[in-house]
Amino acid sequence: MLKNNNIGLIEIKNTENIKIESDFLNKNQVFLTVKREDLIHKYISGNKFRKLKYNIIEAKKQHKQTLLSFGGAYSNHIEALSFAGHELGMNTIGLIRGDELSGQPLNPTLTRAFRNGMKLVFITRKQYSRKEEKVFLMELKNDFGDFYLIPEGGTNHLAVLGCEEIIGHQEHEFDVIASSVGTGGTISGIINASSCSQKVIGFSALKGDFLKDYIVDKVNKDNWELNEEYHFGGYAKVTNELIDFINNFKMETGIPLDPIYTGKMMFGIYDLIKKGKFQKNTSILAIHTGGLQGIDGMNQVLQKKGMKLIV
Ligand SMILES: Cc1ncc(COP(=O)(O)O)c(C=O)c1O
């Protein structure tokens, strides 16, 4: 396996660990550092790069010309995949949940994916639920020809391997590592690469207790917990309180957070600090997994609902 940080011609920046200075953290006597994985790349940011890296290497090894994947209408993964395909001269096909979107104006995420040359196929929720069925995948091969399949959210064992590279020696200095959880792939890599003396906390971005089993299956140690208290009602659900938090955090630290994943994780970290969950002098490393491309689309939805906007 290649261990460098580039997929083909796509240049990736090294990430920085930024220590947050604030009265709130001083008062509560904890240290917080953000690993800016979001700065890796403008379009293939955060865990998207980590998840795609070994999958693209594998697709090339198998001489595949087309990458096919699944996602929701605002999927960070779909946008990142479209950009990677565009840069690497590979075809991309995105099967998008919701046939009602067909013929409608594209949201900002799908507009960018389309401009990157991705073929967008809107499918019913029933069809979408068959995304792991062999028969369904065979039908897709009949429709679209041969392809390399990248599962929903980009998560598979090669994605977990890529996410292990988020954690290096520098990251072993922290007592706690926190990450947002969607499918569980990213945190599985983080757990595998963490040291046994560290605690890994996953903040679930969605409702449902199925994630724990998925993670248990992929990891090599039990130094982790899944916190399910900060999903704000479920996937992509937000409140004005969360939006205020995201806006204040950016104002105080200069670090933007997305409303679906990293905003909820950071809200959870701050709330646990407030509640005294961490011992004095605990050092926490929060992984910024990216997702900032989703802000435009979320703001359109918030505006329609008359809610506060992310600035
Ligand atoms: C920005 C962002 N952060 C975190 C996650 C959660 O990652 P995972 O699905 O691997 O749990 C995702 C989803 O892939 C994401 O887009």
User: Would you give the end-to-end CA distance of the chain in angstroms?
Assistant: 41
Q: Do 82 and 163 meet the contact criterion of CB atoms below 8 Å apart?
A: no
Options 3.40.50.1240, 3.40.30.10, 3.40.50.1100, 3.40.1190.20; CATH of 17-42+157-305: 3.40.50.1100
Cα dihedral 96, 102, 107, 109 sign:
positive
Tell how far the Cα of 187 is from the centroid of ligand 1, in angstroms. 9
Tell me the C-alpha distance between 238 and 61, whole Å: 41
Tell how far the Cα of 159 is from the centroid of ligand 1, in angstroms. 11
Architecture of the domain made up of 47-154? 3-Layer(aba) Sandwich (3.40)
Per-residue pLDDT band for 1 (boundaries 50, 70, 90) equals: very low
Tell me the C-alpha distance between 33 and 245, whole Å: 17
Q: Is the CB of 268 under 6 A from ligand 1?
A: no
Q: Specify the amino acid at residue 253.
A: T
Which percentage of the chain shows pLDDT scores above 70?
96
Q: Would you state the structure tokens that stand for residue 30, as one six-digit string?
A: 């904890």
Q: Is the CB of 92 under 6 A from ligand 1?
A: no
Tell me the C-alpha distance between 173 and 197, whole Å: 10
Per-residue pLDDT tens over the stretch 158-175: 999 999 999 999 999 999
Query: Which residue in this structure is represented by tokens 């890599």?
Result: 189
Tell how far the Cα of 145 is from the centroid of ligand 1, in angstroms. 29
Where along the chain do its domains lie? 17-42+157-305, 47-154
Per-residue pLDDT tens over the stretch 44-63: 999 999 999 999 999 999 99
Q: Would you state the structure tokens that stand for residue 293, as one six-digit string?
A: 């491309």
* φ, ψ dihedrals at 3, nearest 5°: -110, 5
The pLDDT of residue 9: 53
Q: Do 278 and 272 meet the contact criterion of CB atoms below 8 Å apart?
A: yes
Report the nearest-CA residue for atom 1 of ligand 1. 291
Tell how far the Cα of 26 is from the centroid of ligand 1, in angstroms. 30
* Residue (of 295, 249, 239) closest to 269 by Cα position: 249
Question: Hey, do 17-42+157-305 and 47-154 end up sharing a CATH topology, with the first three levels equal?
Answer: yes
The pLDDT of residue 161: 96
Q: Is the CB of 75 under 6 A from ligand 1?
A: no
The pLDDT of residue 3: 42
Q: Is the CB of 77 under 6 A from ligand 1?
A: yes
201-234 burial, b at 16+ Cβ within 10 Å, e below that, comes to bbbbbbeeeebbebbeebbeeeebebbbebbbee
Q: Is the CB of 46 under 6 A from ligand 1?
A: yes
180, 218, 266: residue to mutate for ligand 1 pocket, most atoms within 8 A of CB: 180
The pLDDT of residue 2: 37
Q: Specify the amino acid at residue 203.
A: F
Tell me the C-alpha distance between 183 and 214, whole Å: 8
* Residue (of 301, 220, 228) closest to 268 by Cα position: 228
Tell me the C-alpha distance between 226 and 208, whole Å: 11
Per-residue pLDDT band for 5 (boundaries 50, 70, 90) equals: low
Per-residue pLDDT tens over the stretch 98-140: 999 999 999 999 999 999 999 999 999 999 999 999 999 999 9
Q: Is the CB of 293 under 6 A from ligand 1?
A: no
